[in-house]
Copies of this chain bind each other. A is one copy, B any other.
């Protein structure tokens, strides 16, 4: 078991990384859940796997336990599902001292976090992420949100959880494609923050894809450390947190143009190739580093090229990203592997070249 402390201006909390649920009850008690109203929210896939188990654990510390099963998938990450959650919260008479538990992947976590942020101007919530993507990325840092009108996460709030409990054994039930997709964010952590970690990922790609227990625990730990350091410094993304968007500027545009039919991690992989090429064009990484990055992304079965899109559509779509400030595009570029910088001064010509590179 490993523990990471996340300290933000608005809340301090622990990330627990374990390969079982044995210490979950103890950690829920520690944050104060005993005898409180608790509602578990999970989707119709994950509920079959872990809901009974979780209900058993939590019913040991409170009698006021309820749950809600929502439909799975990004297509349901919208305000209609949020309204369903609100109605359940009202029905169960939850208040500001009550807890929501998000059991599932990033879609569930983002939505439950948003419902918790906006119900009675904020109540408490716990993240129990069950996908690699949510374990290394979306469950940490308090970014919550839903899609609206075709725009990903354009409605949302910053709202920190009380606890993130990661049971790595839940990855065993995950389709391989979802492991690949999660690796998009893991590789990103190496690229922006630690060359050593990036090399560790490259060296262990087959063990990772086979979900080697020890390697996975270390991997998730390292990624959580990097992510939580960044969000502790800059909870509300006014500065350094933007570096976590490496690969996301073009990634989000591709994701939208494909109408969310590609996995987020696949789009981030493509976005990283594009951003790495842009870094290469500006002589911030050399060609062998660019090759290493592409090889690493490919070794996790993530695409490095995509067809069916044209470059101008992607370029125009960039301006619909919610990270545009006053129509200026912010790009995160590598400055060598393991380091990065935020740039808002790039030429359209170079950006177009970087887009073409993945087509």
Contacts and interface: CB of A to CB of B under 8 A. Distances in A.
A36 B117 contact: no
Interface stretch (A52-60, A79-87, A184-192, A252-260): A79-87
Given A83-B79, A95-B326, A149-B86, A121 B156 contact: yes
Interface string A35-51: 01100000000000000
A155 interface: yes
Interface string A147-162: 0110100111110000
A147 B215 CA distance: 49
B122 A157 contact: yes
Contact of A121 (B9, B143, B151): B143
B120 A322 contact: yes
B158 A121 contact: yes
Contacts of A323: 95
How many chain copies?
2
B121 A86 contact: no
Contact of A36 (B97, B119, B145, B326): B326
Interface in A294-328: 319-320, 322-327
A261 B148 CA distance: 32
A30 interface: no
A118 interface: yes
Closest 3 CB pairs of A and B: A121-B156, A120-B322, A97-B325
Interface of A: 9, 36-37, 79, 83, 86-87, 90, 93, 95-97, 117-122, 143-145, 148-149, 151, 154-158, 236-237, 319-320, 322-327
